[in-house]
Structure 1
Amino acid sequence: MLARRIAMAAGPALCLVLLGACSGAPSPTASVATAAASPASAPGSASASASASATAAASQADAATLALTLADTSLGSILVDGKGMTLYMFTKDSAGTSACSGQCLVAWPPLLGSPTAGSGVDDSKLGSFTRTDGTTQATYNGWPLYYWQSDTKPGDVSGQNVNSVWFVLDRDGDPVKK
């Protein structure tokens, strides 16, 4: 009787694992189901594999975000991250140096990591530098790149010209001052 109850409880979790394996892509649901269906054990177990899969998926998501592209917006063709979120430059920055710190970083979170060229982006203008906190911030044409806290979806450009110092960038990496 106990064995039958265990088998019935494990059945749905096993189905999720199998469905996740069929998709060909890492599935957070499959990872959770694998971890739930497997007893906690030493490294190399299904639980450790699920954790490694989740870490790999997070790295892939970061890589996708860092594939910069151009998008057509109300401001023209501008630089966006791989998910279509608008990127901004700060006129008080200088090449490889960020003047944004403290509360500024709350409103203008930096794009962290080393960028790659997506559609329409000039690979020679990509770069990065190490911030004072040790993180790596992406740059384009020497400008450190940031998001604006009020942009919530791809295509939003509400950070344009905030305080006359925040601007989107065009393909050449020049501020668009419309």
Structure 2
Amino acid sequence: MSRLRFLAVPAAALLLLSACGDDDAGGTTSPATAAPTSPAPDAPGTTDASTGPATVALSDDGTHLVSAEGRSLYLFTSDQGTTSACGSGCLENWPPLVAA
């Protein structure tokens, strides 16, 4: 009986702790609107900034921002102020998210 009680206490604690865990592993979030920025240079397949604000959201796992198309958003740290350091080859592979 002592052994049964010895095993029952950790089992009950484990059950209690598992009930307190995060059950929202891939929860949904409402999309956020990007803050207005200066327009980036046009790239193939992008729209004009006058079409309205860009829509961004959290990724399914909640770790980073994605565009309305689900593409991950990146910060290009080589940009200086309103001058983009991303040239035409860069723009083909990394199209900018154009914000109004």
Shared fold by TM > 0.5?
no
Structure with the greater relative contact order (CA < 8 A, sep ≥ 6): 1 or 2? Answer: 2
Structure 1 or 2: more strand by fraction: 1
**Structure having the higher Rg:** 2
Which of the five TM-score ranges fits, normalised by the shorter chain? Answer: 0.3 to 0.5
Structure 1 or 2: more helix by fraction: 1
